[in-house]
Amino acid sequence: MQVISSKDNEFIKHIKKLKDKKYRDLNNEYIIEGIKIIEEAINEKANIKQVVICDDCEKTSNIPKDLMYEIAKQECVYVTNKLFESLTDVTNPQGILAIVEKNAMKSTSPGSEELDYNQDIIVALDDIQDPGNLGTILRTVDSIGINQILVSKGTADSYNPKVVRSTMGAIFRVKIIECEDLENTLKEIQKHKFEIVVTSLQTKNSIYDIDYQKKVIVIGNEANGVEEKIQKLADKKVKIPMLGKTESLNASVATGIILYEYVRQKMKR
């Protein structure tokens, strides 16, 4: 078994470059790290290119035998402890990471052929900036059984390591459709008899006042909300009723509240 120890190794350089979004986009790959998320990737049949294992890390002994058996079926690359530490972004690394093919799709035209119109709701993100918010939203979308999401060009990269960790495996189950022009994509979706719903403080309508069937829920930027041109496009504007003095909520919290109102209505039906 060969163990890589040189930081000048071309494969090691490739892994380090994958920390940059442009390089991830160019190679259509991203990094996942840790025992649990690699197990999720295997279970969800993600396209794993290589698994990188720390040859002399004590924590790799924590990998269950049945999982190690599945990992052994992949292309495995072994590195020294020192070299692994130069690759990881995690405070307490478990000594294992993997390179995975992205499952994102780009919507370069307003045709939106990539979308599944059979679902009750579609979630669209308008320039969400915080990776933690984005990861949590992806996890919430997955939790309610929705398998797709629209993200605007200005939204944080879905394959940023922090986003990937925050999704807790949802990254493998939710199809991410990256929109060059979210406004045009939404206009096309309206042609399929979906209504656009945006969150806004400039309305008296509550999130509890609408029926969540054939709706696109647009979640806006943390600081500025949904941009004006999409506000004008909206069929309905809603807000979350609040009894305290706080006027707005964290984007991922707001998304969770809205989506679980959809769940409540669906269960009631």
Report CA torsion sign: 230, 232, 236, 240: positive
One-letter identity of residue 100: V
Measuring CA to CA, which residue among 252, 229, 231 is closest to residue 139?
252
Separation CA 94–CA 62 (nearest Å): 8
Q: Which two tokens stand for residue 17?
A: 């470059």
Separation CA 264–CA 269 (nearest Å): 9
Q: Which two tokens stand for residue 107?
A: 């919507």
Please give the pLDDT value at position 1: 63
Q: Which helix (H) or strand (E) covers residue 30, if one does?
A: strand 29-33
Over the chain (269 residues), the average pLDDT of each successive run of 10 is 88 96 96 95 96 84 90 95 92 93 68 79 96 96 96 96 93 94 95 94 91 96 92 94 86 96 93
Whether residue 248 contacts residue 201, with contact meaning beta carbons closer than 8 Å, is answered with yes
What string of DSSP letters covers 120-149?
A: SEEEEESS---HHHHHHHHHHHHHTT--EE
Whether residue 55 contacts residue 85, with contact meaning beta carbons closer than 8 Å, is answered with no
Please give the pLDDT value at position 248: 77
Distances (CA, A) of 94 to 10, 35, 84, 105, 176: 23, 7, 10, 31, 28
What string of DSSP letters covers 219-264?
A: E-BTTTBS-HHHHHH-SEEEB---SSS-----HHHHHHHHHHHHHH
Measuring CA to CA, which residue among 106, 96, 105, 83 is closest to residue 31?
96
